[in-house]
Chain A
Amino acid sequence: SAVISQKPSRDICQRGTSLTIQCQVDSQVTMMFWYRQQPGQSLTLIATANQGSEATYESGFVIDKFPISRPNLTFSTLTVSNMSPEDSSIYLCIGTENYGYTFGSGTRLTVV
């Protein structure tokens, strides 16, 4: 199965700044998704990263706040823009190929 390298693993950021998270897959995956896991809670889907086109966002998430890129089938980025303390969370990418799912290692973001 695929292996996803997610960076950074953690970061502490000032409010009002932006952070870009990267996921690199060692093989092509058909679909890539970005999730958020707030403290003590489950995983919430932010968006589906579409290769070469705009991501598909879930209700409550917008492109201006969470711009996503997916230039090819092995790489995607999520940017958390204009951060506030409420954005403190774990951000996770998940790739899937033929219904086999691979998780990134997660990015633990703290906004101060």
Chain B
Amino acid sequence: TQLLEQSPQFLSIQEGENLTVYCNSSSVFSSLQWYRQEPGEGPVLLVTVVTGGEVKKLKRLTFQFGDARKDSSLHITAAQTGDTGLYLCAGVGIQGAQKLVFGQGTRLTINP
């Protein structure tokens, strides 16, 4: 069974600070996705990383896929209150089943 360990599970910081969320596994994934979910809403896809070592930037968000495709990170620079939400990483296995394996989620609160 493929598992994704996401950390931290809870993070509360002040506006303007930087933060990093990690997703780690002992398994290799063909790709990894990051989602953001707000209360009462479904997850919204932020990015998909496919290639080992890949780095993608989305405004203040930087996503990295580990060289071995077993881990990923999300870094937010100068966090804003609008970044508050539940961040989920999800991996696609290499066995071809296409099912998404979700990490436990990181509940991020940005305080004004």
Contacts and interface: CB of A to CB of B under 8 A. Distances in A.
A99 B32 CA distance: 11
Contacts of B102: 35, 42-45
B42 to A, nearest CB: 5
Interface residues of B, number: 21
Contacts of B1: 59
Contacts of A17: none
B96 to A, nearest CB: 10
Contacts, number: 44
Contact of B43 (A44, A48, A99, A103): A103
B26 interface: no
The A contact surface, by secondary structure, is strand
B99 interface: yes
Interface of A: 30-31, 33, 35, 40-45, 48, 59, 92, 94, 96, 99, 101, 103-106
